[in-house]
Amino acid sequence: MSEEQRFYPNRWAKIILTSAEEIVGRDGVAALLNMANMKEYIDNYPPDNMKKEFPFEDVGKLQQAFWDMYGPRGARVFATRAGEQAFNDGLQSFGQVAKAAQTVMKIGSLEKRMSVGLAFFAKFFNTVSDQVVSVKSDGEHWYWRLEKCPMCTGRTSEQPVCHLAVGVLRGAFAWGSGGQQFRITPTNCIAMGQEEGIIAIEKEPMQM
Ligand SMILES: [Zn+2]
């Protein structure tokens, strides 16, 4: 391998599995793990801690198994749900971080607050995992740029596969905006041969 190994925190890997379990049950998850060639995790989920021990390759293999078993749409449902749960769990387990985010997001327009919040969370995610994320924006969009991405590690695809990040962002935007919904679209993905993954978020919330 050309690169050093990177890791996700155990708890996030666990959330991917437990949130899938809510949809397909324990047997369904066992079948997935079987398919992913990750039998060692059957009835033996990663521990509930933030140690960076779950290899990016395994995140990728797991996401691929969802894809193979349930198709792109199904995989998207699982990943989005897991991402939202991971974000909400993060708020609970990192009360100080949530408070700090709320403090920096207090002032200004919705756009200003979300910009500050996004930068804040990018930094947070870069700290607790080996993922590397940065944020850019133009007049209409924010761009969540995944320079090192666990979700597509070891994968190739013709469409973006990093819906776990979409779920995390959905959770973040719903939380930061007091429940408004934003259009969040993955446009680029390392699995498609591109240099980095990009998820575009429209600055104007959707009309409900
Ligand atoms: Zn990716």
Single out the residue of 45, 38, 69, 76 nearest to residue 165, CA to CA: 76
Give residue 95's domain range. 7-202
Full-model pTM: 0.89
- Asked if the structure places residue 12 within a domain, the reply is yes
CATH number of the domain at 68, please: 3.90.1520.10
Q: Ligand 1 mean position to 194 CA, how many Å? A: 9
Q: Which residues surround ligand 1, an ion (CB under 5 A)?
A: 149, 151-152, 162, 189-190, 197
Q: Which residues of the chain register pLDDT less than 50?
A: 1-2
- For ligand 1, the distance from its centroid to the CA atom of residue 130, given in whole angstroms, is 13
Please enumerate in sequence order all residues whose Cβ is within 8 A of that of 195, keeping only pairs 6 or more positions apart, or say none.
none
CA–CA distance from 39 to each of 8, 30, 47, 54, 173 (Å)?
A: 19, 8, 16, 14, 35
Q: Is residue 51 part of a domain?
A: yes
From ligand 1's centre to the CA of 70, what distance in Å?
19
Question: How much distance in Å is there from the Cα of 107 to the middle of ligand 1?
Answer: 32
Predicted pLDDT at 140:
96
Distance separating alpha carbons of residues 128 and 6, to the nearest angstrom: 12
Is 1 inside a domain boundary? no
How crowded is residue 22: how many other Cβ atoms within 10 Å of its Cβ? 12
For residue 38, the CA-to-ligand 1 centroid distance in Å is: 20
Whether 165 maps to a domain, the answer reads yes
What pLDDT is stored for residue 204 in this prediction?
94
Backbone torsions φ then ψ of 47, nearest 5 degrees:
-65, 160
Residue 100 lies in a domain: yes
- Ligand 1 centroid to residue 133 C-alpha, Å: 11
Residue 122: inside a domain: yes
Kindly state whether residue 208 falls inside one of the protein's structural domains.
Answer: no
pLDDT of the residue at 3: 61
Residue 50 lies in a domain: yes
**Distance, CA 121 to ligand 1 centroid (Å)?**
18
Q: What's the number of domains the chain is made of?
A: 1
